[in-house]
Structure 1
Amino acid sequence: MSDMKTDLPPEPPKPDLRRMLDEAVAECVPPAFPGEGIVRRAAAIRRRRRLAAVSVAALLLIPVAGKLALGQDAPSSHTVSIARSPIPFSSVSAETGDAPSPVRVVRPGERIDVGLGMWYLLKEREYCPKHPLDPRPTCVGPLDVAQPGVPMTLDWYPFPQGVVSVFAYTGKTPATRITMTQHGRTTLLPIVRLPGRPSFVSSYAISAPVSDDERKRLVRPTQGPVFRVYGADGAELAEMRQ
């Protein structure tokens, strides 16, 4: 009879080899899943879509005309102030409520500080806000600056100290004045634009804080501010509610 060979199970690895394998596996730690960043980005996309729909409805239903009356037929509590910003402002009062916004011309990609750790930059057809928790700016666009359907695009970011808004206006008529109105108070906002692009402007503001529930769920504020853009003749060019 011929010899028969029996299949034997492989020998277990030696202790030194087992230790080396365990150390190699321990170093292979999977990267952390960026859940918070994905949720925040998805919420920002939902906000922009919802605001775009609201803006289109407002443009269809509300005549875009008239001049903001400050100090005329307005409650005595209706005051005008200047937005907090690194841009130097001249004083504005109720008597000079139609004063133009201060203008800052920046280079593409130049940093524009907003406050509360937020900043943004402008590109030819985009604006790019930078949240303190994000590794890099998140660009919004490209915006249709030649044939604008919705002349205002806005992103807002709730913080415990207040709500930061960064937005752009892309209407055909150049903007000379941008305001924010909330709780009976109107604030003159800056105009930030690129060289040679008077019809593509951006602005920013910090409005009143929202409730903890609204901030955690990233829902639209119930008493958010209203942003308005005016031309050189005082006519209202666009309006958007946060």
Structure 2
Amino acid sequence: MTPRLRDCVEGHPLHPQPYRRTVEVPHPHHDFAAYAHASWPRLVATAHLLSGDPREATELVRNTLVRVRARWRRIPRDDVDFHVRRSLVKGHLRRARRRKAPPHEAWGALSARQRVVLVMLHWEGLGEVEIAQLLGCSAGAVRSRARRGLAACGGDPEQLRGLFAEAAEGALGVVPFAVPLETVERRGRSLRRRRIGVAAAFCALLLVPSAVFAFGRIGSGTADGSGARVAGVASSPIRIVAPGERVETVPGVRVWLTAEGMHWSTPQRSNQFRGLSEDTADDGAERGKPSVSALLEPVNSAYFMSGMYHGLSTDPSRVEVSVGGATVTGTVLTLAGGPGWGVWYTRAPLSSAELKASVAAGGPTVTVYDAAGKAVARSGAGG
């Protein structure tokens, strides 16, 4: 291994400890440049192992950094590596669907996702759960792809790591060593402006029919026995996320969704999972029928309230949580193109005293309303 490659992968899985370096960044306004400079060689080596071509790897990393630069203000600084890796992997998979990677005698027969799993496992040093978050799948699917992919490469992980090191060293000897920061910064700012413009136009289109609907409903105060609500009550904030995209709901608590269900981590317990099928079975609802569950998770000296809804034909308009004599509007997370299910949570923690008082009063109770203001699902707290 040349000194150049050794400097780039110090602490890498080829060494006794897996590569887990977190780049120390300076002032928040300049930390992207510091991260890009420090990460460029490592990202190029990883992208080459994914794509099989050093020049395509350079383009892949450059486009990845452009997308990350456009979202830099919204990325938690202690979670940058996850967002960069996910963007890199997604970019590679999009390319792989359009064209095949150049063949290689050892791993040319692998599928694109098998290749991602092996590179992240044996080169980046990630665990199965972390790779599952990147791909938006289950840890079991990662384990299966890793086993089959390794078997297709000869079944020897040490030999595969050696091949990865050889290929990465060859890539770093061909591509430019310096990050094209000026181009990345310019394209990243341009992409961010375009995204803001598109979002503003989309919101404007939504506001026009919403305003007409609200004008027709103000003062009507209609309600029916099925639970229609008086107009004018604030709707729930609804955030559409990608599979595996981690959202900090309250300080110390992160939630992310995959096709299988809800994942979350707290200071007390990390990488917890609630499957969609498990949630449906526990709340006693028929599959496909609108229903909602509630979970109470201890966080320090309080409780974090969240849960899952499912069986809806569209996203809910509002989720309300009744705690004692108070009512709180929940926030909703749903997968892009999700099939009528998602996760709700509240930002206000629930103290032990409030929890006891609420349980004594028969709560907390969660109610889901549709766009017409009708209560379509209701549930109490459960485990």
TM-score bucket (shorter structure) = 0.5 to 0.7
Shift in alpha-carbon separation, 1:227–1:147, aligned structure 2, 3 A? same
- The match for 1:222 among 360, 368, 374 is 360
Q: Deviation string for 1:203-236 (max 9, x for gaps)?
A: 112443124997xxxxx94354221100111110
Query: How many residues were matched structurally?
Result: 148
Aligned residue identity for 1:210: S
Give the Cα separation in 2 of the matches to 1:234 and 1:163.
28
Give the Cα separation in 2 of the matches to 1:141 and 1:221.
25
Task: After the TM superposition, list the runs of 4 or more consecutive aligned residues in structure 1 that deviate by more than 6 angstroms.
Answer: none
Partner of 1:237: 376
Kept after mapping to 2: 8 A contact 1:158/1:210? no
- The match for 1:96 among 214, 232, 236 is 232
| Greater helix proportion | 2
- The match for 1:141 among 275, 278, 300 is 275
Q: Which runs of 5+ in 2 are unaligned?
A: 1-224
Measured after TM superposition, the shift of residue 124 of structure 1 is 0.9
Give the Cα separation in 2 of the matches to 1:189 and 1:105.
15
Give the Cα separation in 2 of the matches to 1:241 and 1:102.
21
Q: Deviation string for 1:42-93 (max 9, x for gaps)?
A: xxxxxxxxxxxxxxxxxxxxxx921235xxxxxxxxxxxxxxxxxxxxxxxx
Larger radius of gyration: 1
Partner of 2:247: 112
Q: Deviation string for 1:126-183 (max 9, x for gaps)?
A: 001212122x311111436993367223321134543201211112332111111223
The 5 Å alignment of 1:1-242 reads: 65-69=226-230, 96-97=232-233, 99-134=234-269, 136-143=270-277, 147-148=287-288, 151-159=291-299, 161-174=301-314, 175-197=316-338, 199-205=340-346, 206-211=348-353, 221-223=359-361, 224-242=363-381
In the superposition, the TM-score normalised over structure 2's length comes to: 0.34
Give the Cα separation in 2 of the matches to 1:213 and 1:233.
31
Q: Which runs of 5+ in 1 are unaligned?
A: 1-63, 70-94, 215-219
Compare relative contact order (CA 8 Å, sep 6+) and give the higher one, 1 or 2.
Answer: 1
Measured after TM superposition, the shift of residue 116 of structure 1 is 4.4
Tell me the percent identity: 21
In the superposition, the TM-score normalised over structure 1's length comes to: 0.52
Give the Cα separation in 1 of the matches to 2:319 and 2:339.
13
Aligned residue identity for 1:209: S
Measured after TM superposition, the shift of residue 125 of structure 1 is 2.8
